[in-house]
Amino acid sequence: MSHHYIRFTDVRYTYPNGYEALAGISFLATHGEKVAVLGLNGAGKSTLLLHTNGLLFPTSGEVNVGDVPVTKSTLPIVRQSVGMVFQNPDDQLFMATVEEDVAFGPMNMKLPQAEVERRVSKALAMVGATELRKRPPFTLSGGQKRAVAIATVLAMEPSILVMDEPTSDLDRRARRDLIDLVKGFDHTCLIATHDLDMALEVCPRAILIRDGIIAADGPTEEIVGLEF
């Protein structure tokens, strides 16, 4: 994929119960841009993020990742470039041990064993979770689960990083490490968060979602000053 951008074009999404959670979302996050997705509980942030790697498909409108439209048939290629950290780490951890969870993506990519091992060690070190390697994920604390969930995504070496509330549960040091890690990631990033200080530090631009539409889009310091 030559261009690591995400484009939403008039995306609407109605949940099966008839609730329209996205009511016409259009934006472009260009290559290397870090964009915060802000808004109150229930605004539609997670619903929006789930469209970036085809966990949800628009009821109408289109999502593009680089020059590839996100459809059922493009999912393998889309998921290789878009790494998604879910709001709830329990949705991301399902293997018997931490190292198996982190190895899962690289193994699915059919990488050689040595490369899988390199990526697992690197990703765990990046989130400070090396010593959790042999632990069953269900025995971890909330913040430890969060760190490992982030490692599972980093191990895929995605060219676009999408994170839903990545700093919730993290203690001060883990939060600081994550902020530094994301700042050092030079690809496109989309981060839904209530952590406005992180948004200000990491993302020059923010999109404010209100009732499924983009209520504002601009420099983060201006957006966080708005009433929402």
Residues found near Mg ion in the complex (CB under 5 A): 45-46, 87
In one-letter notation, the amino acid at residue 109 is: M
Length of the chain: 228
46 binds ligand ATP (CB under 6 A): yes
Paired sense of beta strands 34-38 and 188-192, if any: parallel
In the complex with ligand ATP, the residue whose CB is nearer, 15 or 186, is 15
SS3 call for 182: helix
Chain mean position to CA 68: 18
Q: What is the number of other CB atoms lying within 10 angstroms of the CB of residue 126? A: 18
142 binds ligand ATP (CB under 6 A): no
DSSP state letter for 112 = -
DSSP state letter for 43 = S
User: Using CB distances below 5 to 8 A depending on partner kind, what does residue 42 bind out of ligand ATP, Mg ion, none?
Assistant: ligand ATP
In the complex with ligand ATP, the residue whose CB is nearer, 152 or 193, is 193
15 binds ligand ATP (CB under 6 A): yes
Q: Which stretch binds ligand ATP (CB under 6 A): 40-48, 66-74, 134-142, 146-154?
A: 40-48
In the complex with ligand ATP, the residue whose CB is nearer, 70 or 208, is 208
Q: What is the number of other CB atoms lying within 10 angstroms of the CB of residue 54? A: 19
**Partners of residue 217 on adjacent β-strands:** 207
Least Cβ distance, residue 106 to ligand ATP (angstroms)? 29
Binding site for ligand ATP (CB under 6 A): 15, 17, 19, 21, 39, 41-47, 87
